[in-house]
Amino acid sequence: MSLVIRSATTADVPEVVAFWAVAGENDDRPTDSEGAVVRLVERDPDALLLALNGDVLVGTVVAGWDGWRAHLYRLAVLPERRGQGVANALLDAAEERLVRLGAGRLDAMVLDGNELGQAVWRKRGFARQQRWGRWVKPVVR
């Protein structure tokens, strides 16, 4: 499989949101919206990375950098393309971006029950941080 990794544009957003409905881990999270993804791409045009095989979107990752912390989100691979190096190619590009921006540590949020996701992150050298808990507050609009 020949992969091209590139940054998403606002034109890609509808396809990305539809892709996440099929390939993403969607438990315990608000529903993705095109508006939110457009805001991400407009704020940080290189944060959302896409893996394409020809014209087919086969993977995504968000490599977010706020100037202080580096966060990886929405690593998703088309189910029939898993195990073919897509996640590794995306994470190579994401890590390169974040280190270039000045990141000294990378983090990824992975649901406790997402064994497939945990295995991917573990293979990449990530380890679960035991002493921290994530606190969340949904924003009601």
Q: What is the mean pLDDT of each run of 10 residues along the chain (141 residues)?
A: 95 97 79 92 97 97 95 95 96 97 93 89 92 81 74
C-alpha 83/C-alpha 86 separation (Å) is 7
Residue 94 included in any domain: yes
Quote the pLDDT of residue 69. 93
CATH number of the domain where residue 14 is located:
3.40.630.30
- Domain total in the chain: 1
C-alpha 116/C-alpha 27 separation (Å) is 14
Domain assignment of residue 40, given as a range: 4-123
Quote the pLDDT of residue 94. 98
Quote the pLDDT of residue 49. 98
Please tell me the pTM assigned to this model.
0.92
Strand partners, 50: 6, 60
Quote the pLDDT of residue 17. 96
C-alpha 81/C-alpha 78 separation (Å) is 5
In one-letter notation, the amino acid at residue 125 is G
